């Protein structure tokens, strides 16, 4: 699959997404447009935003796998399985994102968005029902990965949200597990290609990409999380054990240490390391597109680290 083919498949995802949205009744159609403007930053289409080569590979992962299997001769490429899986991934992600936004920022996202989320998650499941019969092994993977996303999100909400807790060694795997839903599209393409054994091979690659993505997200949302009294793993590790401090005092300590130390930069560096780990788990070119993604993403992370360092230097010089 050439670069042009990948872009053509992404355009197919765009077409399906727009067609689906146009079937929505009001006010859901208007809400869908508002959501896209918020998430895609301006006038960009949401597929262009989430399908960019440096974006988390929510949409490109199934296309990379399809590329591999077309090259191997076990898929023809005519069926468009990769585009179908990418489309389903977008629908599933938007459902989860709506849930997060309504809970985190109720002042910006009306609860009516939850009805839009219901439509997206229904389309997510129906897309896979069109690809897999009842009893297919795919549904076992679907349940496992979807449940993992749910359980890890609940863990963060109930254990971390709104209260301080000490950072623990297993926390990174849990925050990465919030993105386990991306493995659904991975399992789909592998099974359609008759390569179920590859799920165990590429799963750890996704695990490392997921952790890297969450570290990146927590670093850039540090200020927002402070304002919302939300204790992410990054904030917990910044403060340490938090002894002798409660509530806003803990967040104040985190703010001071982030400003005067290198915590934010270090976490962004860790994100790049996890991206490198993902790439190191497989041979060169074994997952087409992954090397390009890691190079682009790590260059972006490096730029962010430099920007943060410069901003702090200017603030401390005042």
Q: Are residues 158 and 124 in the same domain?
A: no
Q: What is the pLDDT of residue 244?
A: 45
Largest CA distance in the chain: 65
Q: Are residues 21 and 67 in the same domain?
A: yes
Residues 6+ apart with CB under 8 A from 164: 231, 236, 239, 242, 245, 246, 247, 250
Of 115, 131, 147, the position where a domain reaches its end is 131
Q: What is the pLDDT of residue 284?
A: 87
Q: Are residues 151 and 298 in the same domain?
A: yes
Tokens of 44: 């960009």
Rounded distance, CA 268 to CA 220, Å?
A: 9
The stretches in the chain having pLDDT less than 50 are 242, 244-245
Q: Are residues 140 and 286 in the same domain?
A: yes
Q: Are residues 111 and 167 in the same domain?
A: no
Of 98, 131, 164, the position where a domain reaches its end is 131
Q: What is the pLDDT of residue 38?
A: 87
Range of the domain at 107: 1-131
Rounded distance, CA 305 to CA 146, Å?
A: 33
Q: Are residues 298 and 190 in the same domain?
A: yes
Q: Are residues 255 and 287 in the same domain?
A: yes
Of 103, 131, 159, the position where a domain reaches its end is 131
For residue 236, give Cα distances in angstroms to 153, 157, 194, 250, 268.
17, 14, 43, 9, 16
Q: Are residues 23 and 125 in the same domain?
A: yes
The closest of 38, 56, 45 to 13, measured between CA atoms, is: 45
Q: Are residues 217 and 173 in the same domain?
A: yes
Q: Are residues 212 and 310 in the same domain?
A: yes
pLDDT mean across residues, the chain: 87
Q: What is the pLDDT of residue 167?
A: 72
Q: What is the pLDDT of residue 155?
A: 86
Report the alpha-carbon angle 35-39-43, nearest 5.
Answer: 85
Q: Are residues 119 and 151 in the same domain?
A: no
CA contacts within 13 A on the Cβ side of 262: 7
Our count of domains for the chain comes to 2
- The runs of H, that is alpha helices, within 3-59 are 3-21, 28-39, 46-50
pTM, full prediction: 0.90
pLDDT tens digits, one per residue of 64-75: 999 999 999 999
Q: Are residues 258 and 210 in the same domain?
A: yes
């Amino acid at each position: 699959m050439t670069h042009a083919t990948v872009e053509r498949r992404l355009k197919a995802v765009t077409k399906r997404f727009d067609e689906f949205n146009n079937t929505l009744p009001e006010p859901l159609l208007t809400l869908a447009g508002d959501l896209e403007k918020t998430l895609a930053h301006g006038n960009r289409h949401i597929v262009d935003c989430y399908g960019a080569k440096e974006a988390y590979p929510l949409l490109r992962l199934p296309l990379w796998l399809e590329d591999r299997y077309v090259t191997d001769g076990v898929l023809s490429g005519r069926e468009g399985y990769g585009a179908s899986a990418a489309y389903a991934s977008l629908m599933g992600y938007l459902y989860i994102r709506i849930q997060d936004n309504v809970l985190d920022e109720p002042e910006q996202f009306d609860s009516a968005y939850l009805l839009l989320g219901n439509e997206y998650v229904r389309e997510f499941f129906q897309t896979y029902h069109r690809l897999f019969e009842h009893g297919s092994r795919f549904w076992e993977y679907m349940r496992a990965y979807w449940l993992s996303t749910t359980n890890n999100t609940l863990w963060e909400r109930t254990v971390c949200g709104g209260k301080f807790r000490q950072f623990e060694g297993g926390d990174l795997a849990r925050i990465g597990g919030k993105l386990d839903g991306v493995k659904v599209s991975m399992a789909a393409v592998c099974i359609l290609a008759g390569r179920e054994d590859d799920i165990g091979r590429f799963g750890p690659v996704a695990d490392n990409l997921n952790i890297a993505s969450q570290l990146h997200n927590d670093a850039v949302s540090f200020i927002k999380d402070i304002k919302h009294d939300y204790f992410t793993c990054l904030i917990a590790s910044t403060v340490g054990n938090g002894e002798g401090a409660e509530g806003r005092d803990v967040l104040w300590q985190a703010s001071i240490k982030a400003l005067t130390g290198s915590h934010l930069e270090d976490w962004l560096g860790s994100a790049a390391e996890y991206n490198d780990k993902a790439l190191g788990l497989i041979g060169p070119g074994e997952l087409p597109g992954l090397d390009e993604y890691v190079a682009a993403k790590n260059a972006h992370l490096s730029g962010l680290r430099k920007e943060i360092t410069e901003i702090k230097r200017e603030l401390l010089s005042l």
